[in-house]
Structure 1
């Protein structure tokens, strides 16, 4: 199955996303943690920034717990078994939507289209892994609203994102 998702349409820079490499991206969020958040991606981003700053400070000061190897092994195992989402905002922002592009169309493998406002898309998240595996049956990605309102039934089989 193809894991490539183009962002196209009314954009300055059409870009291509590869969902198979997001497992290595620091912007990913565990699906369970995402579902605990109650508001917008801004709050989620603040939590992410806080975690990253703590990690940076630990690296900068050289403070390493004596069980560091165990933590690395645990994190590796956790990554290989976890379910993850990633914010859509950085990808849309990098494509630089044109002023007249005020809606986002999610295109599915079976030819269906879901139209969202640009704000909904910017606050949204793409699910790309379930139980450590890529979404092969109903992927390559799922779309979740930033508030998690469609957590039980995300938009599935998304194969392209078009700014309209």
Structure 2
């Protein structure tokens, strides 16, 4: 239960987040390179279409049996998951919670106090959930990073709850 936290407050739906399952989410980002790359928000439909097209092309060319290169790719991906540092955007969770129109800020309730962001800042925020392949147990379950990476070396830690006010 240490990896569970809630989004609640001025929302239509309370959302329960389990940081332990974020590793399986396709929206995860590699935090070692995320803040170093140029800021460009991908078009999700375009990305999905490209991935589906590549998969279809590969299946037409090579059949449904995995060729040796795909086996190597899967092995590499597994190794990356076991040793990587990852985060996930907060925005999709805020959208699912449906923030009420009168809400003005997002409060991250931590073990030591409250850190406040505007809703716009929170929509760009990244939730770090693993470091070097391990969950954030000591000062987690998540770390919160500003979207611009200004707190990359000093994220908001020990977050227990996300409260929309």
2:80 & 2:43 partners in 1: Cα distance?
Answer: 19
- Structure 1 residue 54, shift from structure 2 partner: 3.6
Q: Distance in 1 between matches of 2:30 and 2:127?
A: 11
Structure-2 residue corresponding to 1:57? 53
Q: Is 1:108 matched with 2:130? A: no
Give ranges in structure 1 of 5+ residues lacking alignment.
none
| Structure with larger Rg | 2
Measure how far apart 1:100 and its partner are.
1.0
Alignment of 1:1-164 (within 5 A): 2-39=2-39, 43=40, 45-46=41-42, 52-61=48-57, 62=59, 63=61, 66-110=68-112, 112-164=113-165
Alignment CA distance shift 1:25-1:100 (3 Å): same
Deviating beyond 3 angstroms after TM superposition, the runs of 4 or more aligned structure 1 residues are: 47-54, 63-66
CA distance in 1, matches of 2:48, 2:135: 25
Q: How many pairs does the alignment contain? A: 159
Q: How far has the Cα of 1:49 moved from its partner?
A: 6.5
Change (3 A) 1:47 1:77: farther
**1:109–1:93 Cα change, 3 Å:** same
Contact 1:127–1:141 (Cα < 8 Å) also in 2: yes
